[in-house]
Chain A
């Protein structure tokens, strides 16, 4: 079975600073990987996904993530954070063969200081 670890419960950055949120997964083959964002009081929205191909994927709202097989990681990045990026971010992994049900990490709460 697959699993996901988001080692940072909270991340605090200043507006305009760069951001990297960490995600490590466990899965025997090449996984399907996702980042979702949850704004306060809202449901989750897909930011980006990796299925195959180019390991650097672009998403909405200026986010990108890089799949690194050797490190079993799929870290989320943004070069310049805006105050509206304050939210909860979830990494998820799904098996590329077999069960399609994603497994979610516990989430990282992003706090943006002005």
Chain B
């Protein structure tokens, strides 16, 4: 297992288009998190899943954002009708048995640029 994998790594889109990001967590991890990071800020929580259940969503996650984890394995984050303010790095992280308590394993992120 090579860790948390995210794709695409970079996405440039025009305002109003839809984009989808995919995250493949570490295989034995049951928790999966989505964060957003903008320049000069730390990661901001968006949502998390325990297995296939979406347990919490941030108020940052407007109705244009939707996340799924249909079989409790990979997850997708879709942004509809993108706006320039959506430009950011979208980070996925997973956690589960085997790591230090509270440890999140992050992917390398998917950078979104909305023109």
Is chain B a partner of chain A in the same complex? no
Tell me the A residues contacting B by CB distance below 8 Å. Answer: none
Tell me the B residues contacting A by CB distance below 8 Å. Answer: none
